[in-house]
A and B are shown apart, each in its own frame.
Chain A
Amino acid sequence: MSDLKKIKEEFLSKLSSKLSLSEINQIKSELFGKNGLISSQFKKIGTIEVSERKKFASDLNLIKDELQNLINSKINEVENTEINQKLDKEKIDITLPERPFIRGKIHPVSQTIDEISSIFSEIGFNVEEGPDVENEYNNFTALNTPDNHPARDMHDTFYLDEKKQKLLRTHTSPVQIRTMLKGKPPFKIIAPGRTYRSDSDQTHAPMFHQVEGLHIDMNINMGHLKGCLNYFIKEFFEVNKIKMRFRPSHFPFTEPSAEVDIGYQIKDGKIEIGEGDKWLEILGCGMVHPNVLKNVKVDPEKFQGYAFGIGIDRLAMLKYGINDLRSFFDCDYRWLNHFGFDPLDVPTNYRGLSR
């Protein structure tokens, strides 16, 4: 028997018994280590006669492969057994709770503002802002509500000085004035923000939110106003049809003026917008009064357009079924958690406003 055959027989039999990983590795180095049996045989190739060299090399390779494969599979087998044994031991109660996390939320008013901005963005409005502290001129006089106008009584104003020159804005309309004073027509803006009236009961809070809208251009008429609001209400409530009613009203800064009601019904204790025979007032609007345009140096002979003011909190209450306005500002942890929105829930046009 040749050396090769002998090696083969010997190691095949060695490998046939049950071996540990270290025993297998021992065998592996006996064969394939630097001076291992197989390695030594390869070194011999050069000394073998040319006529037999080819066969010897081929036999050696065959044996090498056979033993190597056997060893590899042997190692694999042992490793598998070890893993399986380990797996058997490593069992946990996967029903135990995950590591603690806390979840933040976005306030429904902020979410609603984002929704409103998203809708108006689509039809070309951009967002403007103004300060919370206003002067009497921007809040009233420039808006065609001079001192001694009874309409001032409708706004219970917080004042910061005895002369009543500085006040907390009672509506977002002064942003109209600021916007038009600093730019040139056309204007197409919305202005969401905080507003203040010294009114406090179940349905009134001393601070609330409004969004102002203003569109001034060459030929903007009441039809555009109706179209714009109709579009907005449909988009906001995510309904295809909306019952809407324009009702004549009066605001000193618009003429003609209107209040807008939407149809609703109560079904199974929940409010359904757009259906039914009840009316709910949701906003005031009108064509910007020529006196206002004159006050901001816009020529009312050339330019005209509409403005509107919507109560944001009211919209949020309707859309999200919140009953109490004052709860918005109460900071009750449970309420914020319940009505708040996930910060990843950014209202967008393509994905829809709400999930």
Chain B
Amino acid sequence: MKITFDWLKDHLSTNLKEEKLLEQLTDIGLEVESVDNLSAGLDLFKIAKIVKVEKHPNADRLKVCDVNIGNKEFKKVVCGAKNAREGLITIYAPPGAIIPKTKTKLVVAKIRDVTSYGMLCSESELNLSDESDGITELASTKYEKNIGKNFFSNSNSNSNLIDLSITPNRPDCLGVRGIARDLAASGFGKMKNINEKKIKSKTKQKIKIKINKESGQGCSIFGSCLITNVKNTESPQWLKDKLISIGQKPISAIVDITNYVMIDINRPLHAYDADKIEKGIVVRNSKSGEEFTALDNKKYKLEKGMCVISDNKGVLGLGGIIGGVRSGTEFDTKNLLLESAYFEPRSIRNTAKKLNLDTDAKFRFERGIDPLSIEDGLNKAASLIKKICGGEISKVDIQKIENFKNKTIKFNPNSFEKISGFKISTKEMVKILDDLGFKSKKEKNHLKLTIPSWRPDISQQVDIVEELVRISGYDKIKTIEPIKERTKSTLTKAQKLFHFLQRAIASKGYLEAITWSFTDSNHNNYFKGSNKEIKIINPISSELGVLRNSIFSNLIMCIKKNLDRGFKDLSIFEIGPIFTGYNPGEQNTIICGLSAGKKSRLSWVEKDRNVDVFDIKRDVVLTLVEAGYSSEKFFTDNQTPNYYHPGKSGRLFLNKGKDQVAAYFGEIHPNILKGIDLKTESLVGFEIFLDNLKLPQKTLNDQKTKFRVSDYQKSERDFAFVVNKEVSAQEIIYIISSVDQNLISNVKVFDVYEGDNIPENQKSIAISVTIQSFEKTLNDSDLEKINKLIIETVENKTGAKIRS
């Protein structure tokens, strides 16, 4: 909502300064978004005429215009607008002028070798409208004689444009008067009494108006008056200045007057060319498929049940949203019908949303317009039209299918302190509410309040508390220091695990990234595994069109981007959600990492090597061990999703057969690297599924067994088995450990070999076994016995042969 202090003063007498005004507005909840001195330097903008247009010698889209800027002065201006043509009257900004929209200062500039002195401006650049397609076009009939004169009048030179952010609950503050009322209640000046004179007329409004009584009717009151024999003209200077002062472009007296009334008292009106209405107006629900062309020159096809203003020939306009071209007023309009109606917010919103329409009127009606402002609006606008355009005004005609009644509410003054934490007297409360337009009556222990018709937002006691706190000032709220006391643990076990794993992975050299929860469907397809694709129906771009089924889809692009920047060795991880369905809760928390390139690249002390699957396996296993899971129970196999290298990846269980997959790890499938054109020596990744990690019932401390160590001598024995390739190291280790759990304290693979001297499809695996007793020092025969048992068991269970 844009206002000026000057305009406010139409409704408010005050001696206070603008600086105080800005503070006060924000303090009562009418937040000042920006303050602009519109008129500063605006006297530089001149009405000018293009007298000659030539094509720019070095640029197809640019033109070189000779511009008459008055006083027989001509300037050369380079311009890119399509509509720049000979004879066009437009607005010229000389070097030194500051463009209101961009705040850039113009200079004499060479544009592709042609010197341009200043610029021809679009309406959007001057903040006159959103029209940015082409330069401003001024009607030659009106402006021909004004060439060389200032486009902006000087009379507002001291009034700043104040832009307020009005919250959706305050439609009343979409009018200058409403803002003035709030200010007055807060002690900033006094409201001026303005009593709009009632129209005195003997002629009846001749056009018949009917509101159809039908279910879902979006209009409950339709007020109108007919003004005959008007002469639409240019607005007088004061009215033009008023609109320009808030950044609007004057159009014609009739349009300007309806805009003025809308902004002044938040009463949207609509003017019809009465001669174009066929046999009266019917306000009704639209039929499916009805069409009409609106004032934005677009054709709209309506659905069933939209509130339309129609005549015998069809739809004239969408009530409270936009009028139609067929009945629009023009400069030659002679007789006009002025509409002032009440439309239901819900109906307005439904229709506007379906047709994707946003207008000033819609914005106001959907928030709720004062139903009692209908006559005021007609009185104010009609008398102004008569004054400026002449003509005869008819009586006001009001059709309604519902009677408006002010709501009342019981308010217990004690509820104020209970919510706000501070006290004001009931007398003060009554005063504030009275200033805001409430009528109050004391009844026993409460106040009976009549809610003003312009406040649709107020329906219960707490709304009144808000009004009182707001106007008293939020600075009156005391600060009650919080008590430092904790009755519940801050984090749950799962949350603790989340934070622990996050830092555990980071401590292994991975940088934490945060990427979108959505991703490109093409990338997602690589990693979606058995999940189904989850589409967003209104994505900001197709590259962010689906919810991610895996973090890899985004993370791999991070790796690619950074590789493209010239980094070669990268480790990145993210912890966050992946999505498995459309329903709330169908998501899992994953910690996902990728590592690319080499270890020890260009190191003088170590030989470099590619990162490999055992690097990433270490990171996963160590992280889980650090998190408190016992690696002795870990179990790995090679069943992994198809985005991993089928032969160089694994899945890890915390406890074989007793739980879900804890993690996948491995090389990323080479086809994917090819698909996204990612070039690196090696790319390995992992995914740990937090929701699959069983949370221990006991604390880590309670899980620890008794401290028990053996001081008897330990022996290390080495074995080399030749075994079928298919037999996994994990299996052999498990078999050996199970031979005698009391004696075998450690089993380590220290060599794996395939090739010369080993039969095809077999491998040699060398294992060191640590044997130690808790009871005695083992003698040679004890050791011999256990050695034999190890060899026998491994041979029997795996078909291996001990190498001699």
> Which residues of A does B touch, CB under 8 Å?
96-97, 99-107, 109-110, 114, 117, 120-127, 129-135, 138, 148-151, 153-154, 158-162, 166, 168, 194, 196, 198-200, 206-207, 219, 221-228, 230-231, 245-250, 255-259, 287, 289-290, 304, 328-329, 331-333, 336-337, 340, 343-344, 346
- A194 x B491 contact (CB < 8 A): no
Contacts of A255 in B (CB 8 A): 462-463, 465-466
B 400-435 to A, binary, CB cutoff 8 A, 1 in contact else 0: 000000000000000001111110000000000000
- A121 x B539 contact (CB < 8 A): no
- B168 x A304 contact (CB < 8 A): no
- B604 x A346 contact (CB < 8 A): no
Least Cβ distance of B433 to chain A in Å? 15
At the interface, yes or no: B59 with Cβ under 8 Å from chain A?
no
Contacts of B422 in A (CB 8 A): 223
B 554-595 to A, binary, CB cutoff 8 A, 1 in contact else 0: 000110011001010111110111010011111100000000
A166-B583, A207-B517 given as contacts; is B421 within 8 A of A154 (CB)?
Answer: no
The chain A residue sitting closest to B26, CB to CB, is A247
Least Cβ distance of B32 to chain A in Å? 10
Give Cα A170–Cα B785 distance, bound, in whole angstroms: 70
A124-B485, A223-B477 given as contacts; is B462 within 8 A of A290 (CB)?
Answer: yes
- A99 x B603 contact (CB < 8 A): yes
4 nearest interchain CB pairs?
Answer: A248-B29, A223-B421, A250-B167, A331-B558
Q: B132-140, B389-397, B530-538, B685-693: which one contacts chain A?
A: B530-538
- B474 x A247 contact (CB < 8 A): yes
Considering only CB atoms and an 8 Å cut-off, how many residues of chain B contact the other chain? 102
Give Cα A133–Cα B534 distance, bound, in whole angstroms: 11
Contacts of A246 in B (CB 8 A): 474-475, 477
A246-B474, A255-B462 given as contacts; is B503 within 8 A of A151 (CB)?
Answer: no
At the interface, yes or no: B499 with Cβ under 8 Å from chain A?
yes
The chain B residue sitting closest to A134, CB to CB, is B584
Least Cβ distance of A353 to chain B in Å? 15
The chain A residue sitting closest to B468, CB to CB, is A256
Contacts A133-B547, A150-B345 known; list 6 others, CB within 8 Å: A122-B486, A123-B484, A132-B587, A153-B168, A221-B419, A256-B466
At the interface, yes or no: B490 with Cβ under 8 Å from chain A?
yes
CB contact between B488 and one of A106, A126, A337 (< 8 Å): that residue: A126
Q: B99-107, B325-333, B505-513, B760-768: which one contacts chain A?
A: B505-513
At the interface, yes or no: B483 with Cβ under 8 Å from chain A?
yes
Contacts of B484 in A (CB 8 A): 122-124
- B576 x A96 contact (CB < 8 A): no
Give Cα A138–Cα B557 distance, bound, in whole angstroms: 33
CB contact between B506 and one of A104, A122, A133, A247 (< 8 Å): that residue: A104
- B562 x A223 contact (CB < 8 A): no
Find residues 452-482 in chain B having any chain A CB closer than 8 Å to their own CB.
Answer: 460, 462-463, 465-466, 469-470, 474-475, 477-482
- A256 x B506 contact (CB < 8 A): no
The chain B residue sitting closest to A169, CB to CB, is B584
- A331 x B515 contact (CB < 8 A): yes
Contacts of B301 in A (CB 8 A): none
Give Cα A131–Cα B579 distance, bound, in whole angstroms: 10
- B506 x A226 contact (CB < 8 A): no
Query: Would you give 21 A-B contacts (Cβ < 8 Å), ordered by A?
Result: A99-B605, A100-B605, A104-B507, A130-B584, A132-B517, A133-B582, A133-B583, A133-B584, A133-B585, A138-B584, A148-B349, A159-B538, A168-B536, A207-B517, A221-B419, A222-B477, A223-B478, A227-B480, A247-B26, A247-B31, A290-B462
Give Cα A257–Cα B482 distance, bound, in whole angstroms: 20
- A132 x B490 contact (CB < 8 A): no
Least Cβ distance of A348 to chain B in Å? 12
The chain A residue sitting closest to B28, CB to CB, is A248
Contacts of A346 in B (CB 8 A): 503
At the interface, yes or no: B487 with Cβ under 8 Å from chain A?
yes
Contacts of A123 in B (CB 8 A): 482-485
Give Cα A294–Cα B212 distance, bound, in whole angstroms: 37
- A151 x B486 contact (CB < 8 A): no
Contacts of A206 in B (CB 8 A): 516, 518, 540, 544
- B503 x A106 contact (CB < 8 A): yes
CB contact between A331 and one of B562, B576, B605 (< 8 Å): that residue: B562
CB contact between A110 and one of B488, B512, B584 (< 8 Å): that residue: B512
Contacts of B460 in A (CB 8 A): 290
Contacts of B31 in A (CB 8 A): 247, 249, 259
Least Cβ distance of B382 to chain A in Å? 30
- B570 x A333 contact (CB < 8 A): yes
CB contact between B479 and one of A124, A230, A248, A336 (< 8 Å): that residue: A230
CB contact between A100 and one of B349, B350, B567, B600 (< 8 Å): that residue: B600
Give Cα A321–Cα B452 distance, bound, in whole angstroms: 48
At the interface, yes or no: B489 with Cβ under 8 Å from chain A?
yes
Give Cα A289–Cα B465 distance, bound, in whole angstroms: 12
CB contact between A344 and one of B507, B534, B570 (< 8 Å): that residue: B507
- A126 x B538 contact (CB < 8 A): no
Contacts of A100 in B (CB 8 A): 599-601, 603, 605-606
At the interface, yes or no: B284 with Cβ under 8 Å from chain A?
no
Contacts of B503 in A (CB 8 A): 106, 343-344, 346
CB contact between A105 and one of B506, B536, B575, B586 (< 8 Å): that residue: B506
- B26 x A121 contact (CB < 8 A): no
CB contact between A248 and one of B466, B480, B505 (< 8 Å): that residue: B466
Find residues 179-237 in chain B having any chain A CB closer than 8 Å to their own CB.
Answer: none
- A133 x B490 contact (CB < 8 A): no
Give Cα A135–Cα B778 distance, bound, in whole angstroms: 68
The chain B residue sitting closest to A109, CB to CB, is B514
CB contact between B470 and one of A223, A224, A256, A343 (< 8 Å): that residue: A256
